[in-house]
């Protein structure tokens, strides 16, 4: 019988390394050193992350070029006329309306806060005492509410920001949180946020991860939704309670690189 933990640990070592970066959307925030640029393009690359990875990366590069290679500076200092060149940006169902609202959201947020981390940190006074446990579920639900709290948000953009309250796996946002929160010396994830602990992260459960996890009998739930991602993460915590989401490297790579 295969020792699943040993098998996955070996795959983590194989793929959680700098060589993984160039062909993955995580390469986009790695283009920058300024914290705000990392956050902005990390979130944007994660939101655009559906379809082929090469297309996701190319579209992210296109977006960066449209913002003159400096996303944070462009967002904070652009004039209205500067936005015209963004009107042709498209990626699948993400269009110019969504692009302009993202820019508006970032500008509104960074006018008040230094980091995007606060957008995922529910104010304690808005929570009941028993909910003040820093769960990722609370963070993601809060982020969606906050993201669409600015005036005149376009209803069509709501489909691009998921939340557990919608029963979504929140694959893209969980991937973004992995990038921002996980801390190790392997060079892939950034570990620049501290309000969420790596042990509390939820696995980014996409088609590949879901398929491989089911093949390894790590998931019993029939449908694929938020509770499925939680179930899988709880199983992975049995292997590593401190850093369960490191196994994303193993499950994703087994699915997309090795066609397991």
User: Using one digit for the tens of pLDDT, what is the confidence trace for 34-76?
Assistant: 999 999 999 999 999 988 999 999 999 999 999 999 999 999 9
Lowest mean pLDDT among 58-67, 120-129, 145-154, 240-249: 120-129
- Mean pLDDT of the 11-24 span: 97
Q: Is the pLDDT of residue 133 over 90?
A: no
Q: What is the pLDDT of residues 185-202, one digit of tens each?
A: 999 999 999 999 999 999
Quote the pLDDT of residue 117.
96
pLDDT confidence bin for 2, thresholds 50/70/90:
low
The angle formed by the CA atoms of residues 128, 195 and 209, to the nearest 5 degrees, is 100
Task: Check if the beta carbon of residue 208 is closer than 8 Å to that of residue 151.
Answer: no
Q: Looking at residue 172, what DSSP letter applies?
A: H
- The domains of the chain are located at 4-256
> Phi and psi for 94 in degrees, rounded to 5?
-85, 120
SS3 content of the chain, % helix, strand, coil (to 5): 60, 0, 35
Give helix 226-239 / helix 4-15 axis angle, nearest 10°: 100
- What pLDDT, on a 0 to 100 scale, did the predictor assign at position 124? 55
CA distances from 32 to 82, 85, 128 (A): 22, 22, 38
End-to-end CA distance of the chain: 17
User: Which residues have a Cβ under 8 Å from the Cβ of 128 and sit 6 or more positions away?
Assistant: none
Q: Indicate the pLDDT class of residue 252, thresholds 50, 70 and 90.
A: very high
Q: Whole-angstrom Cα distance, residue 12 to residue 66?
A: 35
């Amino acid at each position: 019988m295969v020792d699943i933990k040993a098998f996955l640990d070996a795959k983590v070592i194989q793929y959680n390394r700098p060589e993984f970066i160039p062909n993955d959307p995580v390469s986009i925030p790695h283009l920058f050193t300024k914290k705000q640029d990392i956050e902005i393009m990390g979130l944007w690359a994660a939101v655009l992350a559906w379809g082929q990875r090469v297309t996701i990366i190319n579209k992210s590069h296109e977006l960066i070029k449209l913002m003159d290679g400096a996303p944070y500076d462009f967002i904070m200092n652009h004039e209205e006329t500067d936005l015209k060149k963004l009107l042709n940006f498209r990626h699948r169902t993400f269009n110019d309306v969504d692009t302009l609202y993202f820019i508006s959201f970032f500008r509104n947020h960074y006018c008040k806060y230094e980091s995007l981390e606060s957008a995922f940190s529910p104010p304690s006074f808005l929570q009941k005492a028993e909910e003040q446990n820093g769960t990722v579920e609370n963070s993601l639900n809060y982020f969606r509410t906050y993201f669409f709290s600015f005036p005149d948000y376009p209803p069509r953009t709501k489909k691009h920001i998921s939340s557990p309250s919608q029963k979504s796996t929140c694959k893209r946002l969980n991937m973004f949180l992995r990038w921002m929160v996980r801390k190790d010396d392997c060079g892939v994830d950034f570990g620049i946020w501290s309000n969420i602990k790596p042990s509390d992260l939820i696995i980014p459960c996409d088609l590949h991860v879901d398929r491989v996890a089911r093949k390894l009998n790590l998931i019993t739930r029939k449908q694929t939704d938020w509770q499925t991602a939680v179930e899988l993460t709880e199983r992975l915590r049995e292997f590593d309670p401190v850093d369960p989401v490191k196994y994303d490297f193993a499950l994703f790579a087994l699915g997309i690189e090795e066609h397991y």
